[in-house]
Amino acid sequence: MNLEQINALPLDLLHQKFGDVAFRYFETSTVCERIQAYLKATGEDHTLADVIRWASNMFAQPASDSIAIEGNDVQGNKAQLDWRIVRVEPIEDIALFRYLKSRGISPKLGSHYLKEVYLRHNSTLDAMYTLGIPNEDGGYGVINPFLEANIGPQAISFVRGHKPKANKVHIFHDFMDMLSAFIRFPQLRDSGDSICLNSHHQINDAFAYIKDFGYTKLYDWTSNTLEGKQVSKRLRAASIAEPQLRHFLMHKIYARYRTLNDWHVATLGP
């Protein structure tokens, strides 16, 4: 949904979703302004991006061209049901630091963006440590040598760049790809915002952060897989719908590899 569609929502339908939460708004407030006030009253983030995300989750119809879930996304979807988060802490587990190093990521950079997420299996009570990045709905995108999944509410992870009101946005499949790009292209995180999908089928969630926010350049770093190509087609269509937005495919850099991180690891040198 975009801001115009949200402001066209019936107020009665809107207030049904608010429940008994008390918050202040003016009778002349737009629908977007009322949602912002509601999110603020409930302690949620309440930027316009958050308004679009909330309204899209509550009212938007499922997209007819949604992406089929295959490969790692099937594993991740099942894991979301099988595992629960026990605790989240700064990274301390030595095995996680070794895994970061094996993927070409420095402990300092990994510790800045990631957390140590301790999981327990709902049936077997087995436990494991994972690396995780918080997503926009309170869940985590997690990765270790044995698992790649969304745990808790499934959503994208949005990483704001150092430049306020950046006109560039970078789209990655997961945080390993994002951190690889930060290492290989240090200027990237200074000049633009970044979105980790955490799963290919989260592309619809990403559109709320791409549309109507002044981006003029969209850099596509998705994987060289069937699902990644489907995501790229959706991103291309989104750029056509936004006249000021140009879509740049970055896949040539890592054309011989499945992901940007795979290329990064393979070409690091001794």
Kindly report, residue by residue over 218-261, the tens digit of the pLDDT.
999 999 998 899 999 999 988 888 888 999 999 999 999 999 99
What CATH number should be reported for the domain whose range is 157-266? 3.40.50.670
Residue 78 has pLDDT above 90, yes or no: no
State the Cα–Cα distance between residues 58 and 18, nearest whole angstrom: 11
Domain ranges in the chain?
Answer: 3-59, 72-151, 157-266
Overall pTM > 0.75: no
Tokens encoding 210? 């791409």
pLDDT in tens, 129-150: 999 999 999 999 999 988 888 8
Distance of CA 188 to the CA centre of its chain: 17
State the Cα–Cα distance between residues 79 and 110, nearest whole angstrom: 23
Tokens encoding 172? 């990655």
- Number of Cα atoms under 13 Å in the Cβ half of residue 123: 5
State the Cα–Cα distance between residues 205 and 187, nearest whole angstrom: 26
User: Of 107-116, 137-146, 198-207, 240-249, which one has max mean pLDDT?
Assistant: 107-116
- Of residues 170, 176, 174, the one with CA closest to residue 156: 174
Q: How confident is the model at residue 70 (pLDDT cuts 50, 70, 90)?
A: very low
